[in-house]
Amino acid sequence: MKLFDYYFHNLFEIVKERNGYMYEVKYLTMDKHSQFIIFAFNCGSSNEQEDNNGVFHLLEHLILSDYNINKELHNVYLDAITTKEWTYFLFITKSENEIIKKINYIIDTLFSLKITNESLDNEKKIICDEIKNRGYFSNFKQLFNRLMFNGTSYALPTTGKSETVINLNIKRVQNIYNKYYDFNQNFRVYCSSEDICTELSNKLSKIEKRIEFNNKLGVIKHSIRPISKSINKKGNEFNLSVATIYTHMSDYDAQLLDLLGNCLFGAKGLFVSKLKKDCGIYNIQYIYDVYKDFSLFGFGISTNRSNYDRIILCLKELINEIHDNSNMLNSIYNDVLFTKSLEVQYYKNNIFDLIRLVNEMKIDLDITKLPNIEVQINELYNYIFFKSNWFGLSIGDNINVEDFLDKIDIKNKV
């Protein structure tokens, strides 16, 4: 299944059905060659003044407005969203070659914005309308944000009343733009292919400035080739697909991700391995049931005491791992955008409760008050799996499913 066509098309269709508010779906129904670049700028609410988030929301609008005027970019679709911590700009086009040709324009769009009093006043009016109609408009944005960007709050609530936006003067907006939309600032970039990543990196390097690559520059492999296999036992049929992501991450984050995999998946279904020595690129593979939107790892978390104890032990181990650095999870949950299905994404309304609790060292592992071991296991599984998205996803790859099933010993689990 096509990652972007599936993800965005279904997302916006659902939004249209539920809220009646529309972005044009036609822009998002792209073929299997669709490619993307995502820039993420930190606009954290902890950054200096309280109204910073409102300024970043204004800047998001100004960049989008300026972009729409730029005729050079009409073949590249752009959307954006500002949350409490980040502003994301998504550039999507139909082919790798097309987006590579537009890289210079994309960079100019973000880093060469000309702010005028007229453009500022126009966008202020639009944002004030959004605030006025918050109950209607923000529901759409909240859904978009919850499904796409880690579930953090959308920007509107932090802009306060309309007066907060109206009172932002051009000097303050310009100063914030100059400070944060600068090559000397750390920002994150996501690409849909290694070639795009390389080309963009070369362009940015020629400017002789630094960026933050994912932990470095994240590369999500975009070749979508589903592999399926049916296993039938006692009338139960499971359609299995292998999922793969390639990403840059630190060795420490990879170890943590591996630990989380052990915590979540009793069948040893998550594998984190380095592609080449000292290259910093990790290959993450796992397997899931395409019909149930459940990972087959669920069969590893069966209703027996040994697995229950193992999960608890892993959770305690996780807490010990992050005890000295409560921010170490950021590079995982802030840098990852995709999960395997819209349905699983829908459960992300409280997705980061677990991470927040663990970061604050307040996670409660005592679930013995629940009526029985089955309920305890289900509760723990739902708590961890459905409220967790530490890794990205790209379906398929030329992996021998038989070998993969043998490797993780899944046959004994089903």
What pLDDT digit, counting tens, does each position of 300-316 carry? 333 333 433 444 444 44
Q: Give yes or no: residues 246 and 185 share one domain.
A: no
Residues 300, 310 contacting (CB under 8 angstroms)? no
Map residue 294 onto helix, strand or coil.
strand
How many structural domains compose the chain? 2
Residue with tokens 């972005």: 23
Q: What is the pLDDT of residue 112?
A: 85
Q: Give yes or no: residues 246 and 329 share one domain.
A: yes
φ/ψ of residue 51, rounded to 5: -90, 10
CATH number of the domain where residue 203 is located: 3.30.830.10
Separation between Cα atoms, residue 98 and residue 168, nearest integer Å: 37
Separation between Cα atoms, residue 256 and residue 320, nearest integer Å: 11
Q: What is the pLDDT of residue 70?
A: 60
Per-residue confidence band for 190, with pLDDT thresholds at 50, 70 and 90: low
Say if residue 195 is exposed, middle or buried (CB neighbours under 10 Å; 0-12, 13-18, 19+): middle
CA distances from 274 to 223, 247, 250, 317, 379 (A): 19, 10, 10, 23, 33
**Residue 394: inside a domain:** yes
pTM of this prediction? Answer: 0.45
Q: Give yes or no: residues 304 and 396 share one domain.
A: yes
Q: What is the pLDDT of residue 126?
A: 82
Strands laid side by side in the 218-219 sheet: 77-82, 86-93, 35-42, 187-191, 218-219
Separation between Cα atoms, residue 294 and residue 299, nearest integer Å: 10
Query: CB neighbours of 144 closer than 8 A, spacing ≥ 6?
Result: 11, 15, 81
Nearest to 196, CA basis, from 284, 127, 106, 258:
106
Q: Give yes or no: residues 188 and 57 share one domain.
A: yes
| Strand ranges in 205-305 using DSSP code E only, listed in sequence order | 218-219, 228-233, 236-248, 271-274, 281-289, 294-295
Q: Give yes or no: residues 322 and 373 share one domain.
A: yes
Q: Give yes or no: residues 179 and 287 share one domain.
A: no
252: number of Cβ within 10 Å: 13
Q: Give yes or no: residues 394 and 247 share one domain.
A: yes
Q: Give yes or no: residues 369 and 319 share one domain.
A: yes
Separation between Cα atoms, residue 244 and residue 235, nearest integer Å: 29
Domain with 318 in it: 228-413
Query: What is the mean predicted confidence (pLDDT) over 3-8?
Result: 30
Per this entry, what is the length of the chain?
414
Residues 159, 51 contacting (CB under 8 angstroms)? yes
Task: Write out pLDDT tens, residues 97-156.
Answer: 888 888 888 888 888 888 999 999 988 888 877 766 654 444 444 444 444 444 444 444
User: DSSP letters along 172-230, please?
Assistant: HHHHHHHHHSSTTS-EEEEESSHHHHHHHHHHHHHTT---BBTBS-EE-----B--EEE
Nearest to 287, CA basis, from 244, 341, 348:
244
What is the torsion angle, in degrees rounded to the nearest 10, for the CA atoms of residue 24, residue 126, residue 36 and residue 47? -150
Q: Give yes or no: residues 165 and 301 share one domain.
A: no
Q: Give yes or no: residues 324 and 190 share one domain.
A: no
Of the three residues 187, 212, 237, the one that is the final residue of a domain is: 212
**Residue 219: inside a domain:** no
Please name the residue ranges forming H helices in 70-169. Answer: 96-101, 103-111, 117-132, 134-148, 162-166
**Residue 383: inside a domain:** yes
Nearest to 255, CA basis, from 284, 286, 232:
284
Q: Give yes or no: residues 241 and 192 share one domain.
A: no
Query: What is the mean predicted confidence (pLDDT) over 222-245?
Result: 35
Q: Give yes or no: residues 124 and 191 share one domain.
A: yes
Task: Write out pLDDT tens, residues 361-412.
Answer: 333 434 344 344 334 334 444 443 333 332 222 233 333 334 433 433 333 3
Per-residue confidence band for 51, with pLDDT thresholds at 50, 70 and 90: low
Residues 35, 99 contacting (CB under 8 angstroms)? yes
Structure tokens at 172: 């303050």
H or E element in which residue 37 lies = strand 35-42
